[in-house]
Structure 1
Amino acid sequence: MMRHTLLILMLLACGMSASAQLTLKSEKGDFEARLIGRALFDGGVFFSDKTALGNSLEVYDVRLGTVVRFLERWTGKIELGFAKSKVSMKDIYIEYNDGKNVFKVGHYFEPFSLEYRIGTSDMKFNGAAVTGTAFGDRRRLGISYTYNCDVLNVSGGMFSDKDIDNTEKGDEGYALSGRVLYRPYVKGKDIIHVGVSSRFGVQGKAEKNKLTYSAGAPSNLIPEKFLKAEVTEAINEWKFGAEVVMVLDKWYFQSEYLMAHVNRKASVENYNGDGWYAQVGYALLNGRYGYNKMSGMATAPGAKSLEILCRYNITNMNDKDAGIMGGKQNDFSIGGIYYFNKYVAVKMSYSLVSLDKYAPVDGKQTFSMIQGRIQLSF
């Protein structure tokens, strides 16, 4: 029944997006509801000298939801995911926005880091940068405030530290998160921003004083976690981030450094893990890059354009002093995206991955992959 329902919803969504996006408005114009969704079809060929990585085809991500606007300054969003035959909650929140001040409450990403918060259909490669996957954050229940103007964006919030799908009993922990972006260069649509972010989390009994950092290859098709650090005896956690985004006509650049520090009980040493990545893009044929001042993210160059992309990433989960060796990974990716229109795009990429001897899956090795994606989003 679930599969049949999902198929009907997908066909309905495709039919509506082919003509125009479905929007409902009240007669007075004080209420508006818009259907949103996406479907990502992924495929990959993998070349490995150790770990058996089977070639794969799958529907990676399917989303359906709605965005509502009411009483001029209020908006709400409800979005569900249907990937891998499982229903999961994505963005579910209410927001008040008067142009500069934004109050939000619900289930959404904390104001920390950048790469992992970018939607799957807007990511430049099939998978997020491994550093973002490892040390970025997930959606949490909470409340936040954002102040945004031409040169500055400041966000802060309080959230539950417990994943919404964690059903373990016990007191929940909490987290305080904040992100500050400064835009020293703003000239028309050309923008440069530099930013810092921080997160402080205290684990509750549901987390059993253990934190696990893990990440795989830069691919959504490979389930193996080539990096994994299990940090026991945790008291609290600090995360720090620094980022740079540049949008200069047809050029785009994004880089980020993330660090996780876990304070542990006196009997063991504290743990530190970190990583960074840098990626650059150039828009061919048509269009130019844009920038969203509220989110601090670059936007795609538009229909009939072709992006050429390159990314280098280092992620290190080894900490000898703490006695935790979760592995170190270097990966290099090149790729391209062609946008047929505002709804349909095609992605292709090649990645080369190198792991050190502490990697928990088959130790030191090098492997590569070619990946593709056809995506529908509306």
Structure 2
Amino acid sequence: MKKQIFLSLIAACSLSVAAQDFDTNPTIKIDNKEEDLHFTVGARMMMDAAWYHTDYTPMKSGAKLTDARIRTSMTFQDWYFYADFDFSGGKFTQKNIFLQYSLAPDKYDGISSFKAGYFNDPLGLSRNTSMGSYHFISRAAPAVALCPGRELGLAYRYYNNPFYSNVGVFAENPYNNQISGFQGVAVGGRWLYRPINDGTTAFHIGAAFHYGHLNSGETVDNVKKTVLILGTPMETAVDPTEFVQAILPYANNVYNINAELMYVSPKFFARGEYMWKHVTKKRDDQTLFEANLGSIDSWGTLESWQAGNPLGSNSFNGAYVEAGYKIFGPDYKYNSAEGLLGGLSGRSLEIVARYSYTGLNDLVDGEYYSAGRDQYYPNGVIADYPATSLSVGGGNLHSFTIGANYSFNKFVQVMLEYNYNHLDRDKYMSDSNFNCIQGRLMFSF
């Protein structure tokens, strides 16, 4: 009896992993029973079309192949290997590729696994949901701007019915191809408590933390200069222009704190996240001061140079809330192994709605922005000397989305959305309102 329970749990774990990686259970399966090897092959295609209306700055309406992916996996006993590669955009892009080892369930029916390779950082509900299982055409803008995506690293996951934990350590650059500097490192995790998780209805509350130390960049005046770029397009994939963007030179330490909630019932789901990001900065002021001696940027003392070239930390935040209602079709399913909501399966129709806020403005009161120079000036006065400021005008974005999704079967789905974005950014002072009608055809197996 115990052996049967053990095998059932392992099988359930394996299926949940495969379902999440493949969005649905893979259709093409090849088994080698003699070697106890199990192979799967799949593919996914997403074709989007969008029409935009803006106040001033135009966006490129049209159609785009946003995803064209080949996916494969292999299972051997407690080992699981997964890889998928994207060919959209006319170029090859590496996506997930990792090896996972699962341990036997413990006395609490908890399942543990170790993962190594290139995969999503644990931080974030939205970032860890596959686009094939997402109920919107794009992820919420704050998740794109503030949360890390795929990283090279090691992670340990443990979960049972009420609890979930996923922690890991990651490299700053997966290919070690930075111009200079050795790689930095990131650590963090995601933790969930599920007071309700009975197979039909689930509710979880969670928190996530991420710390990253940046150490790679380029050398300028014999000083290593790191740069962190935060940004997001409007909640669309056809025009990827990042109207909301913050460029942070000399970024050193990055801290992320997330909080999340999710409720899933057979015909309704609601979920949301709050995200806070803090970035500290560091540079070798003495070397830069000496490099500028005798030039037009020269200062008499180090203290005066530092006063004319201030450097400060920055904080940003964002949040979203999403909800969906199933008009007909198979029930919504909560994935305990990942702490995520699954996608549509079988013939289904749902309506969805979302509000999101992305805050990348960190402005100093009283500073003046010059549109011609795309620059902020202290004390409200335009001056070339000094010409630096502590303000970061990345932009604040409010986005509202309503949509309807129809699944013909477990392979083919169409999505239709109206998306309104209200932008507050000095760089685009003539732009406030961005309207978008977009659709997607998705095929996956």
- Normalised to the residue count of structure 1, the TM-score between the two structures is 0.90
Between the aligned partners of 2:128 and 2:33, the Cα distance in structure 1 is 36
Q: CA deviation at 1:144?
A: 0.6
User: Mind listing any 5+ residue stretches in structure 2 that lack a counterpart?
Assistant: 1-25, 106-110, 219-224, 284-309, 365-389
Question: What secondary structure, in the 3-state scheme, does the structure 1 residue paired with 2:418 have?
Answer: strand
Q: 1:227 to 1:163 in 2, by over 3 A?
A: farther
Q: 2:189: which partner in 1?
A: 178
Aligned mates of 2:217, 2:43 — CA distance in 1 = 33
8 Å contact kept, 1:354–1:366: yes
Percent identical: 28
- Given that 2:57 and 2:431 are in contact with CA atoms closer than 8 Å, whether structure 1 keeps it comes out as no
Matched residue count: 357
Report the CA distance between 1:29 and its aligned residue. 6.2
Deviations 1:309-330 (A, max 9, x none): 0000110101124411111000
- Equivalent residue for 2:262, pick from 225, 229, 245: 245
CA distance in structure 1 between the aligned counterparts of 2:320 and 2:174, rounded to whole angstroms? 26
- Which residue of 316, 319, 324 maps to 2:392? 324
Deviation at 1:36, TM superposition (A): 1.8
Between 1:229-238 and 1:150-159, the stretch displaced more is 229-238
Q: CA deviation at 1:27?
A: 2.8
Structure 1 partner of 2:95: 90
Report how far residue 70 of structure 1 moved. 0.5
- Which residue number corresponds to residue 221 of structure 2? none
| Secondary structure class of the residue paired with 2:127 | helix
Q: Does 1:370 align with 2:437?
A: yes
| Selected match of 1:21 from 8, 18, 27 | 27
| Unaligned ranges ≥5, structure 1 | 1-19
Greater Cα shift, 332-341 or 115-124? 115-124
AA partner of residue 337 (structure 1): N
Three-state SS of the structure 2 residue aligned to 1:117 is: coil
Q: 2:421 aligns with which of 347, 353, 361?
A: 353
- Across the aligned residues of Structure 1 and Structure 2, the Cα RMSD in angstroms comes to 1.7
Taking the aligned partners of 1:51 and 1:362, their CA distance within structure 2 comes to: 10
Instruction: With the length of structure 2 as denominator, give the TM-score of the two structures.
Output: 0.77
Q: Deviations over 1:177-216 (max 9, x none)?
A: 1110110122332000111001100112237322110111
Q: Per the alignment, in what secondary structure is the counterpart of residue 223 of structure 1? A: coil
**3-state SS of 1:116 partner:** coil
Find 1:160's aligned residue among 171, 181, 193.
Answer: 171
The 8 Å contact of residues 21 and 34 in structure 1, kept in 2 or not, is answered as yes
Give the counterpart letter for 1:369 in structure 2.
Answer: C
Deviates more, 1:164-173 or 1:298-307: 164-173
Which structure has greater strand proportion? 1
Paired residues of 2:176 and 2:183 also in contact (CA < 8 A): no
Deviating more after overlay: 334-343 vs 263-272 = 263-272
The structure that has the greater radius of gyration is: 2
Residue 170 of structure 1 aligns with an amino acid whose one-letter code is G
The structural deviation recorded for 1:129 is 0.5
CA contact (8 A) 2:394 2:425 kept: no
Report matched runs for 1:68-217 at 5 Å: 68-71=74-77, 73-98=78-103, 99=105, 100-164=111-175, 166-206=177-217, 208-217=225-234
Change (3 A) 1:363 1:233: farther
